[in-house]
Amino acid sequence: MTKQLIKNIKCLINTGNATESLRGKELALLSCIEDAYLIISDGIISELGEMKNLNTNSFHDFNDTTDARGQFVMPTWCDSHTHIVFAGSREDEFIDKLKGLSYAEIAAKGGGILNSARKLSDTDEETLTKQALNRIIELVKLGTGAIEIKSGYGLTVEAELKMLRVIKQLKKLSPIPIKSTFLAAHTYPESYKDNHKGYIDLIINEMLPIIAKESLADYIDVFCETGFFSPQEMETICLAGKKYGLKSKVHVNQLNSIGGLQKAIELNALSADHLETMNEEDIKVLAASNCIGTLLPSAAFFLRMPYQPARAMIDKNCAIALASDYNPGSSPSGNMNTVVALSCIQMKMLPEEAVNAATINGAFAMELENEVGSIAVGKRANLIFTKPIPSLAYLPYSFGTNLIDKVMIDGKIIA
């Protein structure tokens, strides 16, 4: 057995062992053990506490010892919403947006998701896997220690399955746990533009049975939005997914409030994601449910949209997670440190709330709460070591500065 000691930790952050996602006032409660130690056995956290309680007679037991003087040690980020399997980039559309076109206008002229779908269909599985794995490695260096990845740039039977097989391959190759989400209902492909029922039938009758047979997905997602999928269409697709054991994690209330959130809650969705456009009733309904509201502030930032009303949502007792939405159209960055900083700076979340939302609640939004999301005995030693910092608030306050000294995954230093 390999036994590692991390000693003299200035502050060991988030040692909670929550059994449910945190909501409302609970989000601001973030534990911190000052002058702490942590013991890792074969990559799993096995003991932690204050330095004064460390049994010094056991020092010879350790294969290696790390001194974390001045450093904060925190759980790695749990990014519960990404689209990191994609081909090429879309900075040409970014320029169109700078010149005044809206996201919806770009989509309407064949750009957006359809543009990424064309690029993806020209790229083979091996290249897609290599590129996505590189993105994961970059993200791990930025502190991400678990991630969800969606399909949705395929939009044909063949290309959706290709994306999901890439994600399945990534699960084997990646150092961090991955959850896979089936998102063929991202937009209507050109050939089904006027035949919505035909495309939904294709998803239900052609794609889902193969996905189930090959265990290619953990969840099902739909982009419920004006001009994309209606709440009723989302219901049809999610109920079909449910028959194969896929819970829903859905895109709702990004550009318009059209009843998507209410439908997601009716469908018992694990999470409802985006939520830039929320009225009072939406917030109330979310607060009364078990559904996790996953906020994606970097998408709001990049699309220059109003931010998610995080403050009102937390004050009304919602369960909130933060994720990056990393994708080539609305959030070409997967940096969770930026996401956390934006949530504080632009949405007035407290640093403690943001860290909880980006760690343990992100883990709940991927059903990985028993493995990651906090520093607790029995969980993976997926840890961020900060550079010496004066306080937790210094992280979002110093936005844009890389304050990560190193990242450990399963007890091994990655960066």
Binding residues for ligand NIG, rule: CB under 6 A, are 112-113, 116, 223, 251, 254, 299, 325, 327-330
Instruction: List the interface residues with Fe ion, window 302-331 (CB under 5 A).
Output: 325
Q: Minimum CB separation from Fe ion for residue 259, in Å?
A: 19
Q: Minimum CB separation from ligand NIG for residue 111, in Å?
A: 9
C-beta nearest to ligand NIG: residue: 329
Q: Minimum CB separation from Fe ion for residue 361, in Å?
A: 17
Answer yes or no whether residue 225 interacts with Fe ion by CB under 5 A. no
Residue 26, binding choice from ligand NIG, Fe ion, none, Cβ under 5 to 8 Å by partner class: none
Nearer to ligand NIG, 160 or 352 (CB): 160
Nearer to ligand NIG, 328 or 362 (CB): 328
Nearer to ligand NIG, 118 or 284 (CB): 118
Instruction: Report residue 292: phi and psi, to 5°.
Output: -90, 125
Nearer to ligand NIG, 112 or 177 (CB): 112
Q: Minimum CB separation from Fe ion for residue 278, in Å?
A: 17
Q: Minimum CB separation from Fe ion for residue 378, in Å?
A: 31
Answer yes or no whether residue 276 interacts with Fe ion by CB under 5 A. no
Residue 330, binding choice from ligand NIG, Fe ion, none, Cβ under 5 to 8 Å by partner class: ligand NIG
Q: Minimum CB separation from ligand NIG for residue 329, in Å?
A: 2
Can you state the angle between helices 157-173 and 113-121, rounded to 10 degrees? 80
Answer yes or no whether residue 352 interacts with Fe ion by CB under 5 A. no
Answer yes or no whether residue 221 interacts with Fe ion by CB under 5 A. no
Residue 292, binding choice from ligand NIG, Fe ion, none, Cβ under 5 to 8 Å by partner class: none
Q: Site size for Fe ion, by CB under 5 A?
A: 1
Q: Minimum CB separation from Fe ion for residue 150, in Å?
A: 7
User: Site residues (CB under 5 A) for Fe ion?
Assistant: 325
